[in-house]
Amino acid sequence: MVGDGIPPAQFMSVVSDPSSKDLLVMGDWLQTAYVTMNVTKPPFDKLEVRQAVNMAINRDRIVRLINNRAVPTGQVLPPAMPGHDPDNKGFAHDVEAAKKLLATAGHPEGFSTELYAMNVDPHPRIAQAIQQDLAAIGIKVEIKSLAQAEVIAAGGAGTAPMVWSGGMGWLTDFPDPAGFFGAILSCAGTAEGGWNWAKYCNKNIDARVAKADSMVKPEQAEARIAEWRSIFGDIMKDAPWAPIYNEKHITYHSARIGADRNVFIDPFDTPLNYRYIYAKDAQ
């Protein structure tokens, strides 16, 4: 499997090699990587500040840092998830508009904050890109590049103003939008040690989620997904996150390995469903 540590030149040479077209398999994953902002503490308690952060970050540039092994996003749900809204592009990259929002929020000169990020490549580089983007609108970011466990602990404790979730981006193993809410965006998830690092709690959203999850009849399935789509759209109106990208599931396998191509990129079996993979030359 192609991982974060593959040098860009080597990765691109594999992708562009015609002999690799049957060995390199790419597909969608049920994953979103994002920046959280602690909505309970200044300055991120102001909606305009959170919107400004969303507008300041150049998602396309970040995707290029990881060899285009992802697609930029402005919403919570990934493309492969029911409820994803293909028409919702999120906040456009707009530095001048972001500056105006900061001024409206009472920070015309910006402010200083911290961004916690995992210290394994490529995440320090991504954190630096975010740092540069936010500097362009006056936000001075100190990067706390730490071991994964320390970043998770700071996020759960609520001591991290911002967290880059890369390497810890949410990846659910079942195709239901509920998997992208309970632990990471619900009021219950804000508890000490929880994974709702934005500490976002909207009781009206929680009530709508409970209603959506009570729609269990087959004839309610379409309406349920439509409600989830609306719920996640409204969550992003509150902007507790700056969603950045959805990773692609990429597998490069030996020519002697056989299986249906979809097995190599099955979004529900991580990393692979080995029961359906075999060696062609095995006796």
Question: Is the pLDDT reported for residue 266 higher than 70?
Answer: no
Instruction: Output the pLDDT for position 176.
Output: 95
Average pLDDT over residues 238-257: 87
What average pLDDT does the structure give for the chain?
90
- pLDDT band, very low/low/confident/very high, at 5 (cuts 50, 70, 90): very low
Taking Cα atoms as reference points, which of 55, 3, 39 lies closest to residue 271?
3
Instruction: Output the pLDDT for position 226.
Output: 98
Instruction: At 184, list the tokens.
Output: 């990471």
Between 91 and 275, whose confidence is greater?
91
By the 8 A CB rule, do 151 and 162 touch? no
Sign of CA dihedral 53, 55, 61, 63: positive
What's CA 208's distance to the chain center, in Å?
Answer: 23
Instruction: Output the pLDDT for position 112.
Output: 98
13-27, 86-100, 106-120: which range is least confident on average? 13-27
Q: What is the pTM of this model?
A: 0.87
Between 264 and 79, whose confidence is greater?
79
Instruction: Output the pLDDT for position 174.
Output: 85
Angle made by CA atoms 196, 207, 48, in degrees to the nearest 5:
55
CA dist., res. 54 & res. 239, Å (int)? 8
Bridge partners of 141, per DSSP, are 113
Instruction: Output the pLDDT for position 62.
Output: 97
257's enclosing H/E stretch is strand 257-258
> What are 152-164's pLDDT values in tens digits?
999 999 999 999 9
By the 8 A CB rule, do 278 and 256 touch? no
Residues in the chain: 283
Could you give the dihedral angle defined by the CA atoms of residues 12, 131, 84 and 22, in that order, rounded to the nearest 10 degrees? Answer: 10
Angle made by CA atoms 185, 235, 77, in degrees to the nearest 5:
75
Average pLDDT over residues 203-214: 97
Average pLDDT over residues 103-127: 97
103-107, 146-150, 227-231, 250-254: which range is least confident on average? 250-254
CA dist., res. 25 & res. 250, Å (int)? 6
Instruction: Output the pLDDT for position 4.
Output: 44
Contacts of 200 (CB under 8 A, 6+ apart): 39, 185, 190, 235, 238, 240
Taking Cα atoms as reference points, which of 181, 190, 168 lies closest to residue 211?
181
The domains located in the chain, with CATH, are 8-279 (3.10.105.10)
Taking Cα atoms as reference points, which of 82, 26, 90, 36 lies closest to residue 59?
90
